A and B are shown apart, each in its own frame.
Chain A
């Protein structure tokens, strides 16, 4: 029954979008973190989506292919009293663009909601199918 595959497709999209939302949440939370666990300045993370076939020719799910770090240079902030400051008094701050992250967050959450709708539509179609002949 092909309609059941919609649950897999929409489910994979929801997983991928929630991973994207997770990356956005870390980026916004760490917008002012001068260091990260590897000792370097925090860099904005971004997920890369890829379509993946799911069973039959009609279904394409979504999968997070990789998580990439933004390679743009860190923002420099003048703060000589900061222990992280270099000899000129500049502190390297994360290259997180909060405006970009907010729009990404809205896009991810809207897409998640749309996939929930898709799933609900498939569910009501299947329930209706069960009433054939009644």
Chain B
């Protein structure tokens, strides 16, 4: 039963985690808006969500690890990964600035607000899922 509950909540849980990570990336971009040579970073949300979901469902190729330094069979080892395995990409600048900084404040603020809204939407969804499950359990 608990495995089924995990499966039931997994999509929204993974999405919320990724949204939180993306919010952190966008906050770093905004914080470094005046740092010379800073390159704005972001993740491709739908791709990252898909790969995080693929990873969290145990696959037939899962390896037994006898040492913490061992890698998973499906780990992406090309570097530049976030703490949840999401591939961090660099934003292509629309209006490059003379100091090599690629933070575009309009884009960052826009994405920041959008991401915060999606995060809160995810929380609302997961709350209603929990409520649904509670009403099933109580009926």
Using a CB–CB distance below 8 Å, which chain A residues touch chain B? 1-3, 5-6, 9-10, 12-13, 17, 20, 48-51, 56-62, 107-108, 111, 114-115, 118, 121-122, 124-125, 128-129, 131-134
Contacts and interface: CB of A to CB of B under 8 A. Distances in A.
7 contacts: A3-B20, A12-B31, A51-B35, A111-B33, A118-B112, A122-B23, A134-B127
**B24, B80, B82, B112, most chain A CB atoms within 10 A:** B24
Interface of B: 17, 20-21, 23-25, 27-28, 30-36, 38, 80-83, 88, 105, 109, 112-113, 116, 119-120, 123, 126-127, 130
B82 A58 contact: yes
B123 A132 contact: yes
B32 A13 contact: yes
A2 B27 contact: no
Given A118-B112, A125-B120, A132-B130, A50 B35 contact: yes
A107 B34 contact: yes
Contact of A62 (B32, B82, B113): B32
A114 B123 CA distance: 25
Contacts of A108: 34
B126 A132 contact: yes
Contacts of A132: 123, 126-127, 130
| Interface of chain B: mostly helix, strand, loop or mixed | helix
A4 to B, nearest CB: 9
A59 B28 CA distance: 6
B28 A133 contact: no
A6 B24 contact: yes
Contact of B30 (A2, A107, A115, A124): A115
A62 B32 CA distance: 6
A42 to B, nearest CB: 24
A108 B34 CA distance: 9
Contacts of A133: 127, 130
A2 B112 contact: no
Nearest to A48: B36
Contacts of A58: 21, 24-25, 28, 82-83, 88
B27 A49 contact: no
Contacts of B105: 114
B109 A114 contact: yes
Nearest to A13: B31
A129 B123 contact: yes
Given A51-B35, A128-B120, A118 B83 contact: no
A20 to B, nearest CB: 8
